[in-house]
Amino acid sequence: MLEVENLTVSFSGRDGRAVAVDGISFSVAAGETFVIIGESGSGKSLTGMAIAGLAPEGARVGGAIRFDGQDVVGLPDARMRRVRGRQIGIVYQDPLGALNPVHTVGDQIAEALRVHGLARGREAMARAVSLLERVRIPDPARVARSYPHQISGGMRQRAVIAMAVACNPKLLIADEPTTALDVTIKAQVLDLLRDLKAELSLTTLLITHDMGVVAEVADRILVMYAGTVVEVGPAASLMDRPAHPYTSVLLASAMMAEAPPQTALTVVPGGTPPLGAMPEGCRFHPRCPRATARCRAEVPVLRGVGGGQAACHHPLVETPEDAL
């Protein structure tokens, strides 16, 4: 369904080129929820934007992104817009920024339907209202007539989701869809995404830093660190038995509630290295408790570990070769 091969996103700057996403590959099967998790500086959002054809100005995208077999890298803008609107729906972190403040919510959804020739005139508006109902907005007719600033943050994010699924896209890209929301609203939106997936058999690419969100919705997980893939695999095995030390750190920091109160949490020192100052060898080695001389010199490649793949010289889980 979606195949990403050796994707790179780089910026040219004063001190040469900075590679923010460094040759990542993965594929998403139809109907699954594939999650990219990473912290700031991991390149996760750039990856999502590159797939949507919305890489920021000045970014150079390399490699191949095949959408239903068609490579969309370097597609002319007009063609890409068609693909984006019809086949890829996008949900952003900030719903207010994603909606046009001078048009009503209903008009914006109806407009999306009209542009892609799915409905006309009154019918488009009626469809917009039923889409708002589908995302469980109470009193959808009233919300359709409202401007974005007149409805609450949770409603807005639902409206954005309604717009994203309006044209029955094959792929839904959701970039931190719940990050800006309050806890109780976050729960509502997560449940909605999960239900929509079942109702519309959506393929979802979810991008987040929140392991809790991942735990609820993911079928497969890809963990990014400093522009590279460190681990990828089925959600259950990756969360039960993380192979990469970084994955286990992410899991540990999401398990604050499970730790005995007021005790020190498991942490690794430092933070993600800045672009342009990437360590040699494994990019995680300066923070890694298991690092050896090999990690400092040799870049680890993704290989089969446990139920998935990890890029680590000393994984926490036995590799098939080790087991032999």
Partner 1 sequence: MSAPAATFRAARRIDWLAMAALVVVALLAVFALMPGVVAPYDPIALDVVNRLKPPSPAHPFGTDEAGRDIFSRVIYGTRYSMGVALAIVAFAAVFGTLYGVVSGMAPRWLDNLMMRIVDMVFGFPALVLALAISAAIGRGLDSVTLALSLMWWPGFARLVRGEVLRLKTEPHVETARALGLGPVTIMWRHIVPFVMSAVNVRATTDIGYALVAVTALSFLGLGATSPTPEWGLLIRDSRPYFGSAWWYLVFPGGIVMLTATACSLLGDALDARKGA
Partner 2 sequence: MSLLSLSGVEKHFRRNSKAPQVRAVDGIDLEVGVGETVGIVGESGCGKSTLARIALRLIDPTAGRVRFDGQDVTEDGIRAMQPVRRRMQAVFQDPLASLNQRMTISQIMSEPFSAHGLKPEGGVEARTRALLENVGLGHIDTGLRPRQFSGGQLQRIAIARALAVEPELIVADEPTSALDPSIQAQIVNLFLQIRRERGVAMLVISHDLDVIGHISDRIVVMYLGQIVEEARAADLLAAPLHPYTQALLSAAPTLKARRARSFRRQILQGDPPNPADAPPGCRFHPRCPLARDRCRSDPPALRTLPDGRRVACHFAPDETLATGQETGRSRLGLGAVAPALRVERRGAK
Q: Whose structure tokens read 């209903």?
A: 106
Alpha-carbon distance of 277 to 320, in angstroms, equals 34
Site for partner 1 in 78-117 (CB under 8 A): none
- Give min distance, CB of 44 to partner 2, in A: 12
User: Among partner 1, partner 2, none, what does residue 12 contact (CB within 5–8 Å per kind)?
Assistant: partner 1
Q: Is 261 exposed, middle or buried (0-12, 13-18, 19+ CB in 10 A)?
A: exposed
Does residue number 122 form part of the binding site for partner 1 (CB under 8 A)?
A: no
Does residue number 214 form part of the binding site for partner 1 (CB under 8 A)?
A: no
Cα R_g (the chain), whole angstroms: 21
Burial 206-233 (b: 16+ CB within 10 A, else e): bbbbbbebbeebbbbbbbbbbbbbbbbb
**What does the binding site for partner 2 look like in residue numbers (CB under 8 A)?**
39-40, 133, 136, 138, 152-155, 182-188, 191, 195, 209-212, 215-216, 236, 239, 249-259, 261-269, 271-272, 274
Judged by CB under 8 A, how many residues of this single chain contact partner 1?
Answer: 23
Alpha-carbon distance of 140 to 125, in angstroms, equals 11
User: Among partner 1, partner 2, none, what does residue 275 contact (CB within 5–8 Å per kind)?
Assistant: partner 1
Does residue number 268 form part of the binding site for partner 1 (CB under 8 A)?
A: no
User: Among partner 2, partner 1, none, what does residue 59 contact (CB within 5–8 Å per kind)?
Assistant: partner 1
Q: Tell how strand 308-310 and strand 171-175 pair up.
A: unpaired
Decide whether 64 or 185 has the Cβ nearer to partner 2.
185
Decide whether 215 or 278 has the Cβ nearer to partner 1.
278
